[in-house]
Amino acid sequence: MERNIIKIDEAGLKDDLKTLIRGTVEDTLNAMLDEEAADLCNAEKHERSEGRRNYRSGHYHRKLLTGAGELDIAVP
């Protein structure tokens, strides 16, 4: 009887999972910050209307150190 042996690269798997988690956390935080800015301004990015008195002027980037690693946060 032939045995198939599967080897798992644990270090590689951990690195891949850490990268996936870091990316997911970064995307989630950036989406939450954009949503909060939209709520505060009562408008989405690039939205223009006659009654609107405020503008969103882009983002600046900051690094945030977390348990998942260093994240690049785009602060509105």
How many domains are there within the chain? 1
Chain mean pLDDT for the chain: 87
Predicted local distance difference test score (pLDDT) of residue 58: 82
Q: Which domain holds residue 17?
A: 10-75
Flag whether 2 is in a domain: no
Flag whether 5 is in a domain: no
Evaluate if residue 64 carries a pLDDT over 80: yes
Flag whether 4 is in a domain: no
Evaluate if residue 50 carries a pLDDT over 80: no
Flag whether 52 is in a domain: yes
Flag whether 1 is in a domain: no
What's the CA gap between 72 and 22, in Å, rounded? 10
Helix (H, G, I), strand (E, B) or coil at 55: coil
Evaluate if residue 39 carries a pLDDT over 70: yes
Q: Which of 67, 60, 62 is nearest to 17 (CA)?
A: 67
